[in-house]
């Protein structure tokens, strides 16, 4: 069978499974769409029934999905929000990032991994999932003032984790001749230049086209794609991993893509084709045979899950109390900060392709995302009940997650 035919069959199978089975999981187990795709990938991948074999084309589709995933994660953030109450937000972000980072590093070292792998694990512990957290906080369990502090803190943590990831990848696989300190300064300078140049360009091409004097939704979409590819190529020349480039483009365009129509088109392009393939490919990297026996690998997986949830909750609670949030809001901040999805999986995927994470760590991270996306809404319901407000049922929150974890 020709490679082209095999690839088409593979893509058809992935998209068909992603079309049918998540709906079954949604009705029977109320699992979010992304979680369903990961499970499907693990079952039909090489560690399961080995129905689908990956190749260069499928992996490239997965790379595009990975890129669009980070673009959409960036578009969901508003960097201008960080400017409000910057001191309080910085304290929340720093405390909620530093303790999990140290926890991830310690876990890596205790289980015999090198410093690079351990630092990368700690960096992943810093990240969160802004899109899912938005759905949780918007459920009405937190005041607007508290929400205005929490969300920018999560944005700051994700941005910090992206910069740390780029630095780690450059240190282990340098694609630039510059020493790391010089490289880091060039990276910061490049980010500053993009911050100054992309918004004005967006106004020229997305408000009123500089050439035709009128703009269509198709023009706006093409502009976003041109900027995305151009920044990816530029950062690639610097040796920066695409995970940071795509995320930055999304953040810098977040205040420019104000039309629901254009956002919907980007969302449809991303999640209609590329992103589902990415999550399926992530699932294929998950070694589900580990769960058929209990050994040292299972201990590592349990430690990663417990370490992340405990460190995020404790650090979030401490950070909330430092900035004088109520005990209930501090508890909520620590709880929702444990949610892991988009950034976490993208970072794990990047670490796998770079040969830094083995199949056990990949399985641990993927299992972690599934666990937190099921456990956090349940914990949130309990917190809501304790606060004496209207209880938000899991059945109400999970549909919000199923819509938001695609963003």
- Whether 303 and 107 have beta carbons less than 8 Å apart is answered as yes
Q: What is the tens place of the pLDDT at every residue in 209-247?
A: 555 555 567 777 888 889 999 998 988 887 777 777 888
Which is it for the CA torsion 51, 364, 366, 233, positive or negative?
Answer: negative
pLDDT at 359 over 80: yes
To the nearest whole percent, how much of the chain has pLDDT over 70?
83
Q: What is the largest CA-CA distance in the chain?
A: 65
C-alpha–C-alpha distance, residues 19 and 95, integer Å: 41
Higher pLDDT, 208 or 95: 95
- Number of alpha carbons in the 13 Å side-chain half-sphere of residue 112: 6
Mean pLDDT of 180-194: 81
Average pLDDT on 305-331 reads 92
pLDDT single digits (tens) 5-27? 888 888 999 999 888 888 888 77
Separation CA 53–CA 51 (nearest Å): 7
Q: Are 256 and 206 in contact (CB under 8 A)?
A: yes
* Confidence at residue 84, expressed as pLDDT on a 0 to 100 scale: 61
* pLDDT of residue 273 exceeding 80: yes
- Mean pLDDT across 122-141: 72
> Alpha helices, DSSP H only, in 259-358?
260-269, 275-284, 296-322, 327-336, 342-353
Domains, the chain: 71-276+285-392 (1.20.1530.20)
Q: pLDDT at position 95, please?
A: 94
Tell me the C-alpha distance between 175 and 166, whole Å.
Answer: 12
Show the 3-state SS of 64-114.
Answer: HHHHHHHHHHHHCCCHHHHHCCHHHHHHHHHHHHHHHHHHHHHHHHHCCCC
Give the whole-angstrom CA distance, residue 295 versus residue 98: 30
Q: Is 140 helix (H, G, I), strand (E, B) or coil?
A: coil
C-beta separation of 146 from 154 below 8 A: no
**Residue 83: per-residue pLDDT:** 62
Name the band, by pLDDT with cuts 50, 70 and 90, for residue 131.
low
Structure-token match 């209990």, residue found: 294
User: Would you say the C-alpha torsion 349, 239, 274, 3 has a positive or negative sign?
Assistant: negative
The residue count of the chain comes to: 407
pLDDT, one tens digit per residue, over 42-71 is 889 888 888 888 888 898 998 998 888 888
């Amino acid at each position: 069978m020709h490679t082209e035919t095999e690839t088409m069959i593979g893509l058809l199978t992935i998209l068909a499974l992603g079309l049918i089975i998540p709906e079954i999981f949604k009705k029977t187990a109320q699992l979010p769409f992304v979680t369903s795709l990961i499970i499907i990938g693990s079952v039909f991948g090489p560690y399961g029934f080995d129905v689908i074999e990956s190749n260069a084309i499928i992996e490239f589709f997965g790379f595009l999905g990975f890129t669009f995933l980070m673009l959409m994660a960036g578009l969901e953030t508003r960097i201008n929000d960080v400017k409000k109450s910057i001191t309080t937000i910085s304290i929340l972000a720093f405390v909620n990032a530093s303790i999990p980072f140290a926890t991830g590093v310690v876990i890596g070292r205790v289980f015999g991994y090198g410093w690079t792998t351990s630092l990368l694990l700690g960096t992943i512990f810093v990240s969160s999932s802004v899109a899912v957290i938005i759905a949780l906080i918007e459920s009405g369990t937190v005041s607007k003032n508290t929400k205005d502090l929490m969300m920018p803190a999560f944005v700051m943590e994700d941005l910090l984790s992206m910069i740390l990831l780029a630095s780690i990848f450059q240190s282990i696989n340098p694609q630039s001749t510059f020493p790391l300190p010089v490289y880091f300064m060039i990276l910061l300078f490049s980010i500053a230049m993009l911050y100054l140049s992309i918004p004005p360009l967006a106004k020229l091409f997305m408000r009123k086209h500089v050439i035709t004097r009128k703009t269509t939704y198709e023009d706006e979409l093409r502009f976003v794609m041109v900027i995305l590819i151009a920044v990816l190529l530029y950062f690639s020349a610097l040796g920066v991993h695409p995970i940071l480039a795509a995320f930055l483009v999304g953040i810098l365009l977040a205040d420019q893509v104000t039309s629901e129509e254009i956002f919907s088109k980007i969302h449809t392009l991303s999640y209609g084709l590329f992103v589902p393939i990415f999550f399926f490919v992530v699932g294929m990297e998950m070694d589900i045979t580990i769960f058929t026996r209990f050994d040292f690998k299972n201990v590592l997986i349990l430690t990663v899950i417990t370490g992340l949830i405990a460190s995020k909750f404790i650090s979030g609670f401490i950070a909330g109390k430092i900035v004088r949030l109520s005990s209930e809001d501090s508890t909520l901040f620590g709880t929702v900060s444990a949610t892991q999805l988009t950034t976490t999986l993208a970072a794990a995927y990047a670490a796998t392709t770079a040969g830094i994470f083995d199949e056990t760590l990949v399985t641990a991270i993927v299992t972690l995302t599934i666990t937190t996306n099921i456990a956090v809404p349940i914990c949130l319901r309990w917190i809501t009940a304790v606060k004496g407000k209207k209880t938000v049922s899991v059945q109400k929150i999970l549909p919000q997650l199923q819509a938001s974890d695609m963003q």
